[in-house]
């Protein structure tokens, strides 16, 4: 099942930018970040680590690359942060390029390693400090930076223009009405129970998912809205590049859009990193202990709709399925049980992966790694052979992936390892099995 | 376009205690689809976009249909002066319709309808085959741009500004992006300076100057006024405001010791905060208030640098001044419940949702729309009227402050009610 060794690739975002770096520029940024932006947490982690290496077996990169210590979590910290601290005033540009490669493209900041660390050190946080340093020096892989540039301009990750967004919603409302006559996508409705937000790939390339949710909302008779203005995209790759100022602005737009519309709560579509950004990293940068309006992930929402009977299941999905449990909502939020329950309610033949729940492996795409783009695809797929083996062992035909990054990442794994499987969002399963009362049918 | 003068509240009917304006239930039984209702400022009209037959939409006002129909319609709004607008499309041509009369020009797309805050004036972003721009009061800008992402209308309604993209950008071209491809267009004319980003902009009171949040290069943001950046640079900034009747500009900026309010780049309040935003001047311009977070996870209001003692754990919304500028109120949330705080005194009752507070003309009373579950209430000075409504418009005080206009939907019927204030206290 193994793929060839990871090739050395060129990435203009790093190869060109590195030419403008000097040890002095690097030292200035490193000292500022270490002295002003990190605090006790950073020092405790750095001083507590005993270099035992027990985190290694947690990492899909390590497991998929012949147990090469360079790919172990502590190995990544050793190659980057330890060196940065050791010789912070004499770091050369080529070293920073290595730091970006390791921190941005070979770690998914999935936090599985924290569970294996005897001290519970948040090793992913340490790699995020490396990313922050790299970002402040503009050493970010080209496609990830382009995504961040899009966030900074448009508040969405795929350069979706304002008119394109609204036009897409209106088109998808028409499509949904073709199936369910009461389906609507109410724009800018004040006081709705649900403010529904998505990530930009939905209007850009997966618009049918918006039409699907319009049908689901109509069947469940949910009082909902989507904004016609910026703040509709809940994703945040700036969080992962290390551009926290852009991250904060994007999150402010998202939460303030819901506040402006006086929504009772935000329901986020099927994306894990977006949930992390909206629930944790974004609010904290802005000064909120928690999101100002209650915020739930789609898995939580579908669980509510199914268990309260607002959505009834007409028939179960027969094809054998397994699940990719998104790190940011299962390990990060504890939604694993609810995810299993909605799968059990809708699918006839489910085989769990092993390991699973919070111990499941990352998809390999999260943490901004898939956004680093085509140059890094080979290493990303090679770096998750363990996932391919895990999925193959389930013998499922369909992998339910309630996360956009997981969805794309697992598709690449399927293709790279020729698994002959397919991925589906949970909403796609629900669309196939939910009961649509005759009086609602168009 | 017919720009009506703003009707004074004095001319509204403050005598008739109850008027039944429309039976919404009839609309629902008459049309296959009735969208969200909107109510005029003086409460005499209620309207909704309705589907009259398959794929045909119109606007129903007090039970009467507009003569115009549309293949698509959205963004139905009453302007502050009480004119009814929406955006409609026929034959793939979009335009703005005011009071059943479409603008002469139509466009490939129309969105982002904005009204001037103090006088008649309506603007929209438009897309044509030539590019992106603005149509203000029915008149499209001559100039068009690669992309346009915002719109701000001047207080007098005669000028408009917005963020524009100056040249196109290929996918993944992070190097061209670094050159600064974004600018601000005012009445279609570009600022002479390009930036990495231009975010929210604001006009000065008399509409001659424009300030905006800008990013100069990665990691360096500031405020630019008429295209000229402040000398000082920051890690982050938020939306600026002009000092009323002047050209000084105030903005929250992230400095090395936290968020500060700065005026023209210099410290204004001798305090820094964990967060500061949503700055608002009193109507006479004498006082400045802002939402501030004095410590992580706590939110309150600062007025002229004095931070209120009461703080909230979840959120505090933009402050609202009384007409005389002596009192300040804001919506606040703690432990999952919403309330209003007035001059540092929170109301005791809390709600599942509460809307912006409105002061009486003398500033002594505060009214707001609030909700518990699916029931809506009018709350005055923290006291819940306990009359439940299925829908409710924003309450409005009479010019003499003795009465409150309530716009209520009960059992499917819309009523305009004038209630003596004393009955609500």
Residue A314 inside a domain? The answer is: no
8 A C-beta contact, residue B167 and residue B146: yes
- Among residues A105, A140, A175, the one where a domain terminates is A140
Q: What pLDDT does residue A5 have?
A: 66
- Residues in chain B with CB shorter than 8 Å from the CB of A167 are 109
Residue B332 has pLDDT above 80, yes or no: yes
- Minimal-distance CA residue of chain A relative to B198: A153
Nearest-neighbour CA in chain B from A63: distance (Å): 32
- Residues in chain B with CB shorter than 8 Å from the CB of A162 are 111-112, 125, 149
Q: Give the list of residues 6+ apart from residue B161 with CB closer than 8 angstroms, or none.
A: B151, B152, B154, B184, B185, B186, B187, B201, B203, B210
- Best CA proximity match to B126, nearest among B189, B116, A187, B142: B142
* Tokens read off for A398: 């369909």
| Contact between chains at A184 and B35 (C-beta distance less than 8 A) | yes
| Contact between chains at B293 and A287 (C-beta distance less than 8 A) | yes
A186 at interface of B, judged by CB pairs closer than 8 A: yes
| Contact between chains at A163 and B125 (C-beta distance less than 8 A) | yes
Q: What pLDDT does residue A1 have?
A: 59
User: Does residue A157 sit in the same domain as residue A26?
Assistant: no
User: Does residue A298 sit in the same domain as residue A200?
Assistant: yes
User: Does residue A79 sit in the same domain as residue A135?
Assistant: yes
The rounded distance, in Å, linking the Cα atoms of B136 and B139 is 5
User: Does residue A38 sit in the same domain as residue A73?
Assistant: yes
pLDDT digits (tens, 9 = 90+) for A413-437: 999 999 999 999 999 999 999 999 9
Q: What pLDDT does residue A440 have?
A: 97
| Contact between chains at B314 and A292 (C-beta distance less than 8 A) | yes
Q: Which residues pair with B300 in a beta bridge?
A: B292
- Residue % of chain B over a pLDDT of 90: 95
Residue A6 inside a domain? The answer is: no
What DSSP character marks residue A158?
Answer: T
pLDDT digits (tens, 9 = 90+) for B67-107: 999 999 999 999 999 999 999 999 999 999 999 999 999 99
- Among residues A307, A342, A361, the one where a domain terminates is A307
What DSSP character marks residue B385?
Answer: -
A233 at interface of B, judged by CB pairs closer than 8 A: no
pLDDT band at B7 (very low <50, low <70, confident <90, very high): low
Residue A50 has pLDDT above 60, yes or no: yes
- Residues in chain A with CB shorter than 8 Å from the CB of B215 are 152
Q: What pLDDT does residue A364 have?
A: 98
pLDDT band at B118 (very low <50, low <70, confident <90, very high): confident
Interface contacts (A, B; CB < 8 Å): 99
User: Does residue A200 sit in the same domain as residue A297?
Assistant: yes
Q: Give the list of residues 6+ apart from residue A406 with CB closer than 8 angstroms, or none.
A: A272, A324, A326, A363, A365, A366, A423
pLDDT digits (tens, 9 = 90+) for B382-423: 999 879 999 999 999 999 999 999 999 999 999 999 999 999
Range in A225-229, A417-421, B6-10 with the lowest mean pLDDT: B6-10
* Cα distances (Å, whole numbers) of residue B419 to A230, B38, B378, B405: 39, 21, 11, 7
The predicted complex's ipTM stands at: 0.97
User: Does residue A216 sit in the same domain as residue A234?
Assistant: yes
Region of B112 on the Ramachandran plot (φ > 0 left; ψ -120 to 50 alpha; else beta): left
Nearest-neighbour CA in chain A from B166: distance (Å): 13
For an interface test with A, give the residue of B124, B165, B174 to mutate (most A CBs within 10 A): B174
- Residue % of chain A over a pLDDT of 90: 97
- Residues in chain B with CB shorter than 8 Å from the CB of A142 are 172, 174
Indicate the number of domains in chain A.
3
The rounded distance, in Å, linking the Cα atoms of A93 and A109 is 24
pLDDT digits (tens, 9 = 90+) for A294-339: 999 999 999 999 999 999 999 999 999 999 999 999 999 999 999 9
- Residues in chain B with CB shorter than 8 Å from the CB of A166 are 74, 109, 111
A194 phi, psi to nearest 5 deg: -125, 125
How much is the average pLDDT of A117-123? 97
| Contact between chains at B75 and A249 (C-beta distance less than 8 A) | no
Q: What pLDDT does residue B13 have?
A: 97
Q: How does strand B84-90 pair with strand B72-78?
A: antiparallel
The pTM assigned to this predicted structure is: 0.97
Burial of B60 (0-12, 13-18, 19+ CB in 10 A): buried
Rg (CA), chain B: 23
Residue B5 has pLDDT above 60, yes or no: no
Q: How is B110-161 classified by DSSP, letter by letter?
A: EEEEEE-SSSS-EEEEEEETTEEEEEETTEE-S--BSEE---EE-TTSS-EE
HSE, side-chain direction, 13 A CA sphere, residue B30: 14
The rounded distance, in Å, linking the Cα atoms of A331 and A114 is 11
Residue A388 inside a domain? The answer is: yes
pLDDT digits (tens, 9 = 90+) for A334-373: 999 999 999 999 999 999 999 999 999 999 999 999 999 9
Residue with tokens 């489910």, as numbered in its chain: A350
* Tokens read off for A59: 């990492």
| Contact between chains at A142 and B172 (C-beta distance less than 8 A) | yes
- Residues in chain A with CB shorter than 8 Å from the CB of B375 are none
Burial of B303 (0-12, 13-18, 19+ CB in 10 A): buried
* Tokens read off for A92: 């050369």
Residue A252 inside a domain? The answer is: yes
Q: What pLDDT does residue A8 have?
A: 80
Residue A112 inside a domain? The answer is: yes
What is chain B's mean pLDDT, rounded?
96
- Residues in chain B with CB shorter than 8 Å from the CB of A373 are 172
Residue A438 inside a domain? The answer is: no
3-state SS assignment for residue B315: strand
pLDDT digits (tens, 9 = 90+) for A384-410: 999 999 999 999 999 999 999 999 999
User: Does residue A297 sit in the same domain as residue A327?
Assistant: no
- Among residues A92, A122, A140, the one where a domain terminates is A140
| Contact between chains at A167 and B299 (C-beta distance less than 8 A) | no
pLDDT band at A7 (very low <50, low <70, confident <90, very high): confident
* Cα distances (Å, whole numbers) of residue B27 to A54, B24, B31: 68, 5, 6
Q: Which of B165, B197, B297 sits opposite A287 (nearest CB)?
A: B297
Q: What pLDDT does residue A2 have?
A: 60
Q: Which domain holds residue A254?
A: 147-307
pLDDT band at A121 (very low <50, low <70, confident <90, very high): very high
pLDDT band at B8 (very low <50, low <70, confident <90, very high): confident
User: Does residue A162 sit in the same domain as residue A228?
Assistant: yes
Give the Cα-Cα-Cα angle B409, B84, A217 (nearest 5 degrees).
Answer: 55
User: Does residue A122 sit in the same domain as residue A165?
Assistant: no
Residue A23's CATH number: 1.10.1060
Residue A375's CATH number: 3.40.50
A278 at interface of B, judged by CB pairs closer than 8 A: no
Residue A27 has pLDDT above 90, yes or no: yes
User: Does residue A166 sit in the same domain as residue A262?
Assistant: yes
Residue A312 inside a domain? The answer is: no
pLDDT digits (tens, 9 = 90+) for B29-39: 999 999 999 99
| Contact between chains at A248 and B236 (C-beta distance less than 8 A) | yes
User: Does residue A278 sit in the same domain as residue A164?
Assistant: yes
| Contact between chains at A152 and B196 (C-beta distance less than 8 A) | yes
Q: Which of B147, B174, B256 sits opposite A13 (nearest CB)?
A: B174
The rounded distance, in Å, linking the Cα atoms of B51 and B34 is 7
Residues 27-66 of A with CB under 8 A from B: 36
* Tokens read off for B200: 């929210």
Residue A441 inside a domain? The answer is: no
B151 phi, psi to nearest 5 deg: -155, 130
A116 at interface of B, judged by CB pairs closer than 8 A: no
User: Does residue A424 sit in the same domain as residue A330?
Assistant: yes
């Amino acid at each position: 099942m193994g793929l060839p060794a990871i090739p050395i690739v060129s990435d203009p975002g790093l190869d060109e930018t590195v030419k403008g770096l000097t040890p002095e520029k690097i030292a200035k940024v490193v000292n500022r970040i270490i002295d002003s932006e990190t605090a006790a947490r950073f020092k405790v982690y750095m001083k507590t680590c005993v270099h035992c290496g027990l985190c290694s077996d947690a990492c899909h990169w390590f497991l998929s690359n012949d147990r090469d210590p360079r790919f172990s979590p502590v190995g990544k910290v050793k190659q980057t942060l330890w060196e940065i601290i050791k010789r912070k005033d004499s770091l050369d540009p080529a070293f920073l390029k290595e730091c970006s490669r390791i921190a941005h493209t070979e770690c998914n900041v999935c936090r599985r390693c924290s569970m294996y660390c005897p001290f519970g050190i948040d090793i992913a946080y340490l790699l995020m400090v490396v990313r922050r340093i790299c970002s402040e020096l503009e050493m970010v892989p080209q496609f990830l930076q382009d995504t961040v540039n899009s966030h900074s301009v448009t508040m969405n990750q795929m350069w979706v223009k304002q008119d394109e967004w609204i036009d897409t919603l209106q088109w998808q409302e028409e499509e949904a009405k073709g199936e369910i006559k009461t389906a609507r996508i109410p724009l800018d409705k004040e006081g709705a129970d649900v403010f529904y937000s998505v990530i930009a790939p939905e209007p850009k390339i997966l618009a049918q998912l918006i039409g699907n949710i319009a049908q689901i909302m109509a069947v469940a008779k949910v009082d909902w809205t989507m904004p016609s203005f910026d703040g509709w995209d809940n994703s945040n790759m700036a969080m992962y590049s290390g551009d926290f100022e852009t991250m904060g602005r994007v999150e402010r737009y998202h939460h303030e859009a819901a506040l402006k519309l006086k929504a009772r709560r935000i329901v986020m579509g099927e994306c894990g990193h977006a949930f992390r950004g909206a629930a944790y990293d974004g609010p904290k940068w802005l000064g909120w202990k928690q999101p100002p309006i209650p915020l739930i992930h789609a898995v939580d929402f579908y669980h509510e709709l199914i268990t309260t009977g607002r959505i009834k299941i007409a028939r179960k999905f027969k094809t054998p399925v397994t699940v990719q449990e998104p790190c940011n909502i299962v390990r990060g939020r504890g939604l694993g049980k609810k995810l299993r329950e909605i799968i059990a309610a809708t699918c006839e033949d489910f085989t769990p992966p092993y390991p699973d729940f919070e111990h499941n492996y990352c998809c390999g795409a999260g943490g901004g790694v898939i956004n680093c783009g085509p140059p890094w695809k080979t290493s990303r797929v090679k770096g998750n052979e363990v996932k391919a083996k895990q999925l193959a062992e389930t013998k499922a035909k369909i992998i339910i992936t309630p996360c956009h990054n997981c969805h794309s990442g697992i598709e690449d794994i399927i293709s790279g390892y020729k698994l002959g499987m397919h991925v589906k969002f949970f909403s796609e399963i629900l669309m196939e099995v939910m009961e649509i009362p005759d009086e609602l049918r168009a | 376009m017919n720009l009506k003068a703003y009707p004074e509240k004095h001319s509204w009917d403050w005598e008739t205690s109850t008027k039944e304006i429309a039976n919404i239930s009839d609309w629902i039984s008459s049309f296959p689809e009735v969208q969200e209702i909107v109510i005029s400022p003086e409460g005499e009209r209620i309207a909704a976009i309705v589907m009259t037959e398959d794929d045909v939409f119109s606007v129903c006002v007090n039970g009467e249909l507009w003569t115009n129909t549309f293949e698509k319609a959205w963004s139905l709004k009453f302007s502050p002066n009480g004119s009814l607008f929406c955006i409609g499309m026929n034959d793939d041509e979009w335009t703005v319709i005011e009071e059943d009369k479409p603008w002469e020009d139509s466009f490939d797309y129309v969105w982002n309808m904005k009204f001037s805050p103090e006088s008649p004036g309506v603007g929209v972003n438009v897309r044509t085959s030539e590019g992106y721009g603005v149509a203000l009061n029915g008149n499209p800008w001559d100039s068009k741009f690669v992309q346009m992402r915002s719109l701000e209308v001047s207080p007098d309604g005669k000028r408009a500004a917005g963020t524009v993209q100056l040249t196109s950008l290929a996918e993944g071209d992070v190097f061209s992006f670094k050159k600064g491809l974004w600018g601000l267009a005012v009445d279609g004319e570009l600022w002479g300076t390009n930036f990495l980003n231009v975010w929210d902009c604001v006009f000065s009171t008399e509409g001659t100057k424009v300030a905006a949040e800008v990013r100069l290069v990665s990691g360096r943001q500031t405020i630019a006024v008429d295209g000229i950046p402040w000398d000082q640079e920051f890690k982050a900034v938020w939306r600026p405001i002009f000092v009323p009747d002047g050209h000084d500009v105030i903005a929250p900026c992230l400095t090395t010791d936290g968020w500060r309010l700065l005026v023209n780049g210099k410290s204004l309040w001798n305090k820094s905060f964990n967060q500061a935003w949503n700055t608002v001047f009193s109507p006479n311009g004498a006082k400045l208030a802002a939402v501030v977070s004095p410590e992580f996870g706590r939110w309150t209001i600062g007025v002229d640098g004095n931070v209120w003692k009461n703080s909230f754990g979840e959120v505090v919304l933009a402050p609202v001044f009384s007409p005389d500028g002596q009192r300040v109120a804001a919506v606040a949330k703690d432990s999952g419940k919403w309330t209003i705080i007035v001059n540092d005194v929170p109301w005791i009752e809390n709600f599942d949702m509460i809307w912006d507070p409105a002061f009486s003309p003398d500033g002594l009373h505060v009214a707001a729309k609030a909700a518990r579950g699916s029931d809506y209430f009018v709350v005055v000075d923290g006291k819940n009227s306990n009359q439940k409504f299925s829908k409710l418009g924003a309450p409005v005080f009479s010019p003499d402050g003795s009465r409150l206009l309530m716009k209520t939907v009960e059992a499917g019927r819309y009523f305009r009610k004038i209630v003596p204030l004393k009955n609500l206290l």
